[in-house]
Structure 1
Amino acid sequence: MKSTFKMARTSMMAAPLIAVAGMASAGGLSEPVAAPTPVPVAPAPVPVAPISDWTGFYAGGQLGFGQLDSDDLTEDPDGLLYGVHGGYLYDLGSWIIGGELDIDGTEIEDETADVALDSVARAKLRVGYDAGNWLPYVTGGIAQASTSGAVDGEDTGSFGGLGVEYRISDSMRVGGEVLQHQFEDFDGTGIDIDATTATARVSFQF
Structure 2
Amino acid sequence: MEGAMRKHLATGAAFLALSATSVLAQDWSGFYAGVGIGNLEVDTSIAGVKENDVAYGIHAGYRYDGGQWVLGGEFEHDWTDIDLVSGDVSVDRVMRFKATAGYDLGRTLLYVVAGTAEVDVDGLGDDWGGFYGLGAAYAVSPRAIVSLELLEHEFNNIGGSGTDADAWSAGLRASWKF
Tell me the TM-score normalized by structure 2: 0.89
Offset at 1:112? 4.4
Q: Kindly name which structure, 1 or 2, has the bigger radius of gyration based on alpha carbons.
A: 1
Per-residue CA deviations over 1:105-156 (Å, capped at 9, x if unaligned) read: 012112348310010000000101100100111000000011113x2x1110
Which residue in 2 is equivalent to 1:198?
170
- Is 1:44 the counterpart of 2:19? The answer is no
SS at match of 1:44: helix
Structure 1 Cα separation of the partners of residues 129 and 71 of structure 2: 22
1:174 counterpart = 2:146: yes
Instruction: Tell me what 2:98 maps to.
Output: 124
2:60 maps to 1:94: no
For residues 193 and 184 of structure 1, the distance between their equivalents in structure 2, rounded to whole angstroms, comes to: 6
Of the three residues 96, 109, 129, the one matched with 1:135 is 109
Residue 58 of structure 2 is aligned to residue 84 of structure 1: yes
TM-score, length of structure 1 as denominator length: 0.77
| Closer/same/farther in 2, CA of residues 173 and 38 from structure 1, 3 Å limit | closer
> Aligned equivalents of 2:110 and 2:169: distance in 1?
18
Looking at secondary structure, tell me which structure has more strand per residue: 2
CA distance in 2, matches of 1:201, 1:139: 15
Q: Bigger relative contact order, structure 1 or 2, given CA contacts below 8 A and separation 6+?
A: 2
The Cα of 1:38 is off from its aligned counterpart by: 6.1
- 8 Å CA contact 2:49, 2:85 repeated in 1: no
Sequence identity of aligned pairs in percent?
A: 38
Q: Runs (4+) of structure 1 moved beyond 4 Å?
A: 37-40
Distance 1:39 1:200 in 2: 53
Is the 1:73–1:110 contact (alpha carbons within 8 Å) kept by the matching residues of 2? Answer: no
Go from structure 1 to structure 2 and tell me whether the alpha carbon gap of 1:39 and 1:130 turns closer, same or farther (over 3 Å shift): closer
Q: Which residue of 2 aligns with 1:158?
A: 130
| TM-superposed deviation, 1:73 | 5.2
State the Cα deviation string for residues 79-113 of structure 1 (Å, max 9, x = none): 11000000000000000000000000012112348
List alignment gaps of at least 5 residues for structure 2: none
1:82, 1:106 within 8 Å by CA — same for their partners in 2?
yes
- Work out the number of aligned pairs and report it: 168
Q: Is the 8 A contact 1:167 1:173 kept in 2?
A: yes
